[in-house]
Amino acid sequence: MDVAQLFSTRARAGVDPELAIILAGPPPGTLGMTGGFPNPATFPSEELAEIAARLVQDEPGLALQYGPSAGLPSFREYLVERVTHLEGREPALDELMVTSGGMECLDLLCRSLLDAGDDVAVEGPTYLGAIMGFRDYGARLTGVPMDADGLEVAWLRERLESGYRPKFLYTIPEFQNPSGRTLTLERRRALVELCREYGVLIVEDVAYKELSFDGSQLPSLWALAPDVVVQAGTFSKVFCPGTRLGWAVGPAALIAQLSSAKGGTDQCAGALSQRLVEEYGRAGHFGRRLPHARALYESHWVALSAALARHMPEGVEWSEPTGGMFTWLRMPEGLDARELRPAATEAGVAYVPGSPFYVDGGGANEMRLSYSSLDEAQLGIAAERLAGVIQSVPSAARR
């Protein structure tokens, strides 16, 4: 039997090979600025050891059993409190559910909203996993251009005025993956008004929101307009990815549908993970731990930023993140980040080329640099190596 002959249309379409390259990790011997993995130094292992042992021993009937698809009641109640604290707006219990991480939330949204051929608007560039996920459901993707202030709302308005009607707009307002940019407050207000006017649902991914270097934060899109926004959150960056947990907050009818869809995937998020995060959070550990994570990423960025400024040749630009773990680097026109990759590997540095992050072309001369995993000294060396690779291209090759 040739099982590949049985594959569905979507399976035959395959996946972007860039994702496999990212997941395989940086080539041996290179300093990797590739992945978006959080730094393990931010993981709360001491606090968790005690909590995990206690939960498994004291409440196996809850923490080790199946749970409701929407999440354990006590954890949902905790999440309501947490979201209220973070957002300054209290969701109703039926406006919130537990997910098995941020990507799973996007998948539940696709199941619940997308038929093949539906339009979806994303940022250009945007998260590679989201592009793949949306394409998997046959969505037609349109990239909304970005500048230093985030996605260009005026551009989207023009398109909507011309009759464009996406099922939803997917955006990462803070320290965006991959660009590191943050949507300004003015644009946030304009965006939710625009989407309300045209009946476009906003899917707001707040994966990095709590990782601002200075601890400050702008109001989320959901807080500004809970009627037209569903927020996808994850504990992967502020707690750890190993427990596969996130949340969705949005209109009750949509949350009910997402919960129902979850019954057909993993049925429920792990109860042990849910109780771990709940106990961790109720003990106040987020408030104690997060400042350390913010300081770590800031210190990494300061190091990378200084090294880029010192080593990069003229004509190379990069974004100035105020949180999160990414910067977006643009080389002079004519250079191609994919073509430079062998030379970069040779020089001992790794990055992710920019073009896969765009749904409609472009980005050949751009790249994503992650500063989450390497330490300050390594980031300095990595930047110097990368600068050397870029400088090694004969100027004749540049347009």
Q: Which of 31, 32, 34, 48 binds a second copy (CB under 8 A)?
A: 48
> For residue 273, how far is the Cα from the chain centroid?
20
User: CA–CA separation, 280 vs 330, rounded Å?
Assistant: 40
Q: Which of 163, 214, 216, 253 binds a second copy (CB under 8 A)?
A: 253
Residue of 217, 257, 299, 305 interacting with a second copy (CB under 8 A) = 257
Nearest approach, Cβ of residue 1 and a second copy (Å): 5
Regarding 214 and contact with a second copy (CB under 8 A), the answer is no
Q: What mask, x for binding a second copy by CB under 8 A, covers residues 68 to 87?
A: xx------------------
The answer to whether 229 and 202 are in contact (CB under 8 A) is yes
Task: Choose which of 21, 27, 43, 140 interacts with a second copy (CB under 8 A).
Answer: 43
Q: How far is CA 72 from the centre of its chain?
A: 25
Site for a second copy in 163-182 (CB under 8 A): 167-168
Q: Which stretch binds a second copy (CB under 8 A): 56-64, 322-330, 352-360, 379-387?
A: 56-64
List the interface residues with a second copy, window 275-314 (CB under 8 A): none
Q: Check residue 112 for interaction with a second copy (CB under 8 A).
A: yes
| Strand-strand pairing, 229-234 and 246-249 | antiparallel
Q: Is 113 in the site for a second copy (CB under 8 A)?
A: yes
Which of 100, 176, 212, 378 forms a contact with a second copy (CB under 8 A)? 100
Contacts 24+ apart (CB under 8 A), 144-152: 144/169, 146/176, 146/179, 146/181, 148/181, 148/319, 148/320, 149/181, 149/183, 149/184, 149/186, 149/187, 150/123, 150/176, 150/181, 150/182, 150/183, 150/184, 150/187, 151/123, 151/183, 151/187, 151/191
**Min separation Cβ 63 and a second copy, Å:** 6
Q: How is residue 210 annotated by DSSP?
A: G
Cα–Cα separations (whole angstroms), residue 341 to 34, 41, 208: 12, 29, 28
The residues, any chain, with a CB within 8 Å of residue 391's CB and separated by 6 or more, are 313
Cβ-based nearer residue to a second copy, 318 or 357:
357
Q: How far is the CB of 350 from a second copy (least distance, A)?
A: 17
396 touches a second copy by CB under 8 A: no
> Could you say whether residue 204 binds a second copy (CB under 8 A)?
no
Asked if 241 interacts with a second copy (CB under 8 A), we say: yes
Strand, coil or helix: what is 161? helix
Q: Which is nearer to a second copy, 168 or 318 (CB)?
A: 168
DSSP state of 226: T
β-pair type (201-205, 168-171): parallel
Among the listed residues 264, 287, 291, 342, the single contact to a second copy using CB under 8 A: 264
- Check residue 313 and give left, alpha or beta (phi > 0: left; psi -120 to 50: alpha): beta
From 145, 251, 315, 348, residue interacting with a second copy (rule: CB under 8 A): 251
- Residues 135-164 contacting a second copy, CB under 8 A: 136
The reply to whether 355 sits near a second copy by the rule CB under 8 A is no
